[in-house]
Amino acid sequence: MSLGAFVAVSAALFALGIVCIVVRRNILYVLMGIEMILNAANINFVAFNRFNGDGLDGRMFAVFVIILAAAEAAVALAIVLNVFHLFDSVKPSDADLLRE
């Protein structure tokens, strides 16, 4: 497989993540879109490392992004549970306590 195939898959995954964030009005879908975008970045890191470098730089960045995504998911799910507890909804537009 060539580098172009990896970049095409990564671009498709990135576009799918952006569409998921913009179209869906649910906090959980927004989080899934963010995870797809981070995975697209991981595919790029590993692919460019495989084709253009001999070191472990791309793989190290990918592992760092995976760790960052796990921490982000844990914190974000805690926030989602708190928002659901306070507003009885998981829609981002319904959390409007600061508007009052």
Give the C-alpha separation, 62 to 100, whole Å: 42
* Entry pTM: 0.82
Structure tokens at 29: 């879908």
Please indicate whether residue 86 or residue 96 has the higher confidence score (pLDDT): 86
- Counting every residue written for the chain, the total comes to 100
Residue-wise pLDDT for 9-54, tens only, equals 999 999 999 999 999 888 888 889 999 999 999 999 999 888 887 7
Asked if 19 and 40 touch (Cβ cutoff 8 Å), the reply is no
Asked if 62 and 42 touch (Cβ cutoff 8 Å), the reply is yes
The C-alpha angle with vertex 36 and arms to 33 and 40, in degrees rounded to 5, equals 140
Asked if 20 and 36 touch (Cβ cutoff 8 Å), the reply is yes
What's the CATH number of domain 3-99, 1.10.287.3510, 3.40.50.300, 1.10.3720.10, 1.20.1740.10? 1.10.287.3510
Evaluate if residue 5 carries a pLDDT over 90: yes
